[in-house]
Amino acid sequence: MSESTQRFEYAEPLFSTAHELKIPLHVGLFLITLFTTTMAGVEWIGKNPLNLLNLGSGLAYSLTLLLILGSHEFGHFFYSLKHRVKATLPYFIPFPVIPGMLNFGTLGAVIRTKTPVPSRKAIFDIGVSGPIVGWILSILVLIFGFTHLPSRSYLLEIHPGYDFATNSVPGTDGLPLAFGSSIIFKLLELVFTNPHTEFVPPMSEIYHYPFLCVGWFGLFVTAMNLLPVGQLDGGHMIYAMFPNAHRRIARIFFFLILLIGLFGLLPLVGLDTGFGWTGWLFWCLILFFVVKLNHPPVFDPSPIDNRRKVVGWLTILIFVVSFSPTPFIILSR
């Protein structure tokens, strides 16, 4: 089959009108998400997000977070253009900040492809481009965060009674939350910090440090997207690399995530193993009913080249070092 017959040809350009792009909608969602993530950034550092005078202190968090999320989606977008696949601009998804309920101020961002992806090479490039760009930026943000840790007085402004000997705040109410670590997060901490000369915040305080919080969240989002299931980014990659085995791989990982989620229920019956997260059960519902387990076929099934296979294995490594089976931990008092 010649190259000209393998390629999808369109009777219209990739982008014909501003109306088709819905630019006001994309810009509006971005601005709303900028506002909600800025409020979340204020909440994470212990200030009142309803006081608009505090919004400036949340910008380091929001701008860095939107940079990572936006770069991830524009990675998909530009490789869609390269392969002549019609795609929307990113839709940023805002999430309201409720005082006392800590959240990230967003549910992420997505783009939609509006025409078929023509080949395994194209689905591979579109799939891995977003996670790779987002992961690299997350690593850079974490390196900056670890090399620019504030003094202990910063944490004392948030927790005036913080006990640095036990890494706890005696007598406080609220949800005792800790982020779960990952291989790459812990490695960066070991390489770029010195606990003998500076205070390195424990995982129960990471979310008060904007760059560490955003970098951690970037790794978390990357790992979730690289799960090799259906039309997730990892599903695209695995379909392109292992077309004969991608369905089995998807089911194996689906049931692994389901099992990890069930482990998260054990504390409800008095068995706290410190492993698992109930949020994976909700994610399994999304995978099964929305994302779907199977990847649809593409027009051109020609195998990907060795260069892409190397990139694919490196991306699998990114998933392994970034994944945390217990991303959120409720600490006992």
Residue 170: its pLDDT value, please?
A: 75
Residuewise pLDDT in 10s, the chain (333 residues): 333 333 334 434 555 444 456 889 999 999 999 999 999 999 999 898 888 899 999 999 999 999 999 999 999 999 999 999 999 999 999 999 887 677 899 999 999 999 999 999 999 999 999 999 999 999 999 999 999 999 999 999 999 989 998 888 876 655 678 999 999 999 999 999 999 999 999 999 999 999 999 999 999 999 999 999 999 999 999 999 999 999 999 999 999 999 999 999 998 888 888 899 999 999 999 999 999 999 999 999 999 999 999 999 999 999 999 999 999 998 765
Q: What pairs with residue 98 in β-bridges?
A: 101
Given the structure tokens 């929001």, which residue do they identify? 62
Residue 272: half-sphere exposure toward Cβ, Cα within 13 Å: 8
Q: Specify the amino acid at residue 225.
A: N
Residue 8: its pLDDT value, please?
A: 39
Residue 13: its pLDDT value, please?
A: 53
Residue 22: its pLDDT value, please?
A: 84
Spans of all domains in the chain: 15-116
Which residues make Cβ contacts (< 8 Å) with residue 166, sequence separation at least 6? none
Residue 6: its pLDDT value, please?
A: 37
Tokens in use for 90?
């990113």
Q: How far apart are CA 55 and CA 50, in angstroms?
A: 9
Classify the phi-psi angles of 233: left when phi > 0, otherwise alpha if psi is within -120 to 50, otherwise beta: alpha
Q: pTM for this structure?
A: 0.92
- What are residue 189's phi and psi, to 5 degrees? -60, -45
Q: How far apart are CA 208 and CA 192, in angstroms?
A: 19
Tokens in use for 155?
């944490």
Farthest CA pair distance, the chain: 72
Q: Specify the amino acid at residue 221.
A: V
Residue 19: its pLDDT value, please?
A: 44
Residue 20: its pLDDT value, please?
A: 56
SS (H, E, C) 173-220: CCCCEEECCCHHHHHHHHHHCCCCCCCCCCCCCHHHCHHHHHHHHHHH
